[in-house]
Amino acid sequence: MPQTILETRNLVKRYNGFTAVDDLSFEVYEGEIFGLLGPNGAGKTTAIRTIMDIFKPDEGTITVLGEPPGVVRRRIGYLPEERGLYQDLKVLDVLVYLAQLKGTSRSTAREQSLIWLDKVELGDWANKKVQDLSRGMQQKLQFVASVVHDPQLLILDEPFQGLDPINVDLLKGLIRDLRSEGKTVMLSAHQMNLVEALCDRILLIDDGKGVLYGDLAEIKRRHAPGTVRLRTSDPLVELPGVIRVEQRDDTYTLTLEGVTAQDLLRELLERDISVGSFEVATAPLEDIFIAVVKERDDA
Amino acid sequence: MRRVLIVARHEYLVNVRRVGFIVMTLLVPLIGALGLFVAAFFGGQAASLLASTFTPEEGNIGVVDQMGAFTPLLSEYEERISLYLDEEQGRAAVREEKITTLLVIPEDYIETGKVIIISKEGGFGSAILEESDTLRAFFVDHLLRDEVDPALRQRLANPIEPVVVSLEQEGEPEGGPLSIILNMMVPYFLGMLLVMTIFVSSGYLLQGVAKEKTSRVIEILLSSVTARELLAGKVLGLGALGLTQISIWLASSVVLSGGSAGLLGISLPFMVRPQVLILGVVYYVLGFLVYAVLMGGVGALGTNQQESQQLAGIFSLMAAIPLMVSGFMFTNPNMTFVRVLSWFPLTAPTMMLLRMPMAEVPMVDVVGSIVMLIISIPIILWAGSKLFRMGLLMYGKRPSLRQIARALRQA
């Protein structure tokens, strides 16, 4: 059983009668990348702010690294959604100050800041003022500010917002590196494809409520609507259990009912239909999300 | 505590390098220097003008002695005063500017006391002459020269040489009028200094808080330190900054005004009653802490720097209230109104600084106000950091009173 780093139980946060987070319970395990997903306004940032002890929850409990929120600050790194750094200070000075507040010594803070600036290709900017950096650069700098004190748990609120594809890739690589070093990362995002590529486990929020929670691969398998993608040069005859066929050039998307993909493949081989490629399709997370939300709305 | 010091150090170092701070700090001494330069340039002329207006030229006085008691002149007056036989001769001497003023002493002087003073322009110079000690002595000496010995004549011309002893202030009188003035001035000066420090450093505190709020750095900071640590650090750092600025201003004023003011500054603490000085420092420190903490909390409530400054202005005004009412205090330093202001933590520091030197303040007021201040500082820090925390995360809108009350309730 992996160790629990972060746990919330029945978390509720209301503003002026509006419930931003509604009975949210989840766990984040050590060494994983955990995704907090949901459309804008779903309550992701509010949930993160209660975990960071910036807001007090109205109900429920939170345990971070074995303590209530606000007790362990040094071993947590935080990239808030509302971005900002001291614009008129030098890049290096900002990083050193923020790391010192997290309990890092001045010399270590300096050393680590320079190492991390190199990692995000900002090594030449250490002695420039923050305001001289472009938006994307400031975004990366902000990420560095959240990791420079070597935290055990990293909480990133919309880390990919405003980054170009090249820097998105860079950041994804850095987050994966952190996981392989044994760090735990929790990130929020509304771009499902990014989360799909990065996260081990997810929690999907809608209107402040958790609607999907668990291992990402497991979720996708659970929600896969028996779809198979088949490429063949032979004409496709009617097959048992296939209720729908979509064709684009020589690729067919088959929707199955009552049979498994395994059954279908056997059938194809028996009928000696040439198989160029055969793939059990999992639904994109986005489709799952839309389906789940629709289901909730109908209910 | 370590993080408080890191914040304090950061705030100090960042702000001490700001162009605004450096300009502000240098501007005051520069203006002072400019003033001195102007004064030195035009000052000589102005000084001689003043001197000629207020000091009659006593060397050139003529006397027409119709009464007869002034002839011959006593030898000690011969240098400055000359006798004329009749008024015509005297008037001619005034016209020819041999003398500036002519005194005609009529025959019936003893009965009427009338003396006719004739000068070219008349006016102020001759009016002053009437009050002059020399003239008084001149009359006493001549009228009584045969009857009274010189020592008594001198006493008659100047009968009172005052030495003031106060029974309320125990012990012997300390150093005369200068010490009394210093006893009042030093605390008044400390009071002004307190108000100034509050304005200067609360200005920086507001600026810093507003900037962190608009630049959104605040959320990162609050993920590392508590609002209370952050506020305390800012208060310490910016307090040190305000003191730096005021020290530079003071030092420059000592240098500019030359040795005399410098000497005065150094000797001040010795001349003031020690209990006034010690209590003054206590009130100064407590007062600064109360206000700085308050400013930080209030400053975070505004949506922008301007709004924060307006909110903070209300409180700055409170520190200045005692300065405004100091006029009343001269007449009655222990009146109820003054005592109420002495107990209220926001006015206590300045009030007590002003009040202590004027009269023996009842011990209960001293102890009471200090206890009130010491109790209120942690309370204001606690409430201030709540407001700070709430205000900083509310972008673009000012919290309602209900929200403020709610934030204070939440532990």
Helices first, then strands: H and E counts in chain B: 18, 4
Q: Measured between alpha carbons, how far is A129 from A90 in angstroms, rounded to an integer?
A: 4
Predicted confidence (pLDDT) at residue B252 exceeds the cutoff of 70? yes
pLDDT at B171: 43
Which among A87, A100, A146 has CB closest to B215?
A87
**Option in B10, B14, B220 nearest A80 (CB):** B220
Tell me what percent of the residues of chain B surpass a pLDDT of 70.
69
For the segment A266-279, what is each residue's pLDDT rounded down to a tens digit?
A: 888 888 888 888 88
pLDDT > 90 fraction of chain B, expressed in percent and rounded: 4
> Please, are residues B74 and B63 in contact by the beta-carbon 8 Å criterion?
no
- Tell me the pLDDT tens digit for each residue of A166-218: 999 999 999 999 999 999 999 998 888 888 889 999 999 988 888 889 998 88
Span A221-239, average pLDDT: 79
Least Cα distance to B76 among B126, B145, B158 occurs for: B145
Q: Which residue of B has its CA nearest to A98?
A: B221
DSSP annotation of B385 reads H
Q: What is the pLDDT of residue B257?
A: 62
Q: Between residues B253 and B131, which one has the greater pLDDT?
A: B253
Average pLDDT over residues B246-262: 67
In which residue ranges of chain B is CATH 3.40.190 found?
58-157
Mean per-residue pLDDT over chain A, rounded = 88
Q: Is the dihedral of CA A239, A243, A246, A252 positive or negative?
A: negative
Which range, A78-82, A97-101, B128-132, B236-240, is most confident? Answer: A97-101
pLDDT exceeds cutoff 50 at B86: yes
The pLDDT score that the predictor gives to residue A152 is 94
Per-residue pLDDT at B204 exceeds 70: yes
Q: List, edge to edge, every strand of the sheet that includes A59-64.
A: A18-29, A4-15, A59-64
Does the pLDDT of residue B402 top 60, yes or no? yes
Higher-pLDDT residue of B157, A14: A14
| Residue from B16, B221, B224 whose CB has the most chain A CBs within 10 Å, to mutate | B224
> In terms of residues, how long is chain A?
299
Four-residue CA torsion sign, A29, A30, A32, A38: positive
Q: What pLDDT, on the 0 to 100 scale, is given for residue A173?
A: 94
Which pLDDT belongs to residue B394?
A: 61
Q: pLDDT grade, residue B126 (50/70/90)? A: low
3-state secondary structure (DSSP) of residue B82: strand
Gap between the Cα atoms of A91 and A80, Å rounded: 18
Mutate to test the interface with A, among B21, B216, B219 (most CBs of A within 10 A): B219
Amino acid B170: pLDDT = 45
Q: What is the per-residue pLDDT for B346?
A: 85
Tens-digit pLDDT profile for residues B277-297: 677 778 878 888 888 888 777
User: What is the per-residue burial (b if ≥16 Cβ within 10 Å, else e) of B239-277?
Assistant: bbbbebbbeebeebebeeeeeeeeeebeeeeebbbeebb
Residues 6+ apart with CB under 8 A from A294: none
How far is CA B9 from each of CA A98, B3, B99, B249, rounded to the nearest angstrom? 13, 10, 72, 22
Q: Which residues of A touch B222 (CB under 8 A)?
A: 52-54
Q: Which pLDDT score, from 0 to 100, does residue B160 have?
A: 77
**Could you give the CA distance from residue B245 to residue B198 in angstroms, rounded to a whole number?**
12
- 3-state SS string over B106-128? CCCHHHHCCCEEEECCCCHHHHH
* CB-based contact B392:B222 (threshold 8 Å): yes
pLDDT at B274 over 70: no
Task: Decide if B216 and A84 are in contact by the 8 Å CB cutoff.
Answer: yes
Structure tokens at B118: 């004739």
Using a CB-CB cut-off of 8 Å, the residues of chain A touching B3 are 101, 103
Q: How confident is the model at residue B174 (pLDDT cuts 50, 70, 90)?
A: very low
How much is the average pLDDT of B78-105? Answer: 83
Residue A225: pLDDT band (50, 70, 90) is low
Tokens at B260, concatenated:
């005399």
Contact B220 A97 (CB under 8 A): no
| Residues in chain B closer than 8 A to A92 (CB atoms) | none
Whether the pLDDT of residue B393 is over 60: the answer is yes
Predicted confidence at residue B399, as pLDDT, reads 61
**Whole-angstrom distance, CA of residue B156 vs CA of residue A152:** 95
Assembly ipTM:
0.78
Q: What are phi and psi of A122, to 5 degrees?
A: -120, 15
Neighbours of A292 (CB within 10 A): 16
Interface with B, mutate which of A91, A97, A142 (most B CBs under 10 A):
A97
User: How high is the pLDDT of residue B47?
Assistant: 54
* DSSP state, residue B75: G
- Phi, psi angle pair for A221, to nearest 5°: -65, -40
Query: Do the Cβ atoms of A76 and B223 come within 8 Å?
Result: yes
In what helix (H) or strand (E) does residue B59 lie, and over which residues does it extend?
none
pLDDT of residue A242: 84
pLDDT 10s digits, B323-332:
777 777 766 7
Summarize pLDDT for A144-157 with one digit per residue, the tens. 999 999 999 999 99
Q: How far is A4 from chain B (nearest CA, A)?
A: 21
pLDDT by residue (tens digit) across B42-71?
Answer: 655 555 555 555 554 555 788 888 888 887
- A180 Ramachandran zone, left/alpha/beta (phi>0; psi -120 to 50): alpha
Q: What token pair was written down for B313?
A: 């202005």
Chain B: nearest CA to A21, how far in angstroms? 18
Mean pLDDT of A61-78: 90
**CATH placement of domain B58-157:** 3.40.190
**Dihedral angle, C-alpha B168, B170, B173, B175, nearest 10 °:** -110
Which of the four pLDDT bands, split at 50, 70 and 90, describes residue A65? very high
As a whole number of angstroms, the distance between CA B178 and CA B185 comes to 10
B320 band by pLDDT with thresholds 50, 70 and 90 = confident
A256 min Cα distance to partner chain B (Å): 50
Q: Rounded to 5 degrees, what are φ and ψ at A186?
A: -120, 125
A53: left (phi over 0), alpha (psi -120 to 50) or beta: left
CA distances from B318 to B218, B333, B336 (A): 29, 19, 18
pLDDT in tens, B300-317: 776 666 777 777 777 778
User: How confident is the model at residue B189, as a pLDDT?
Assistant: 66
Residue A148, pLDDT score = 94
Gap from B379 CA to chain A (nearest CA, Å): 21
What was the pLDDT predicted at B291? 82
Average pLDDT over residues B347-365: 79
> What is the mean predicted confidence (pLDDT) over B192-202?
69
Least confident of A231-240, B53-62, B98-107: B53-62
d(CA B334, CA B316): 24
Confidence of residue B266 (pLDDT cuts 50, 70, 90): very low
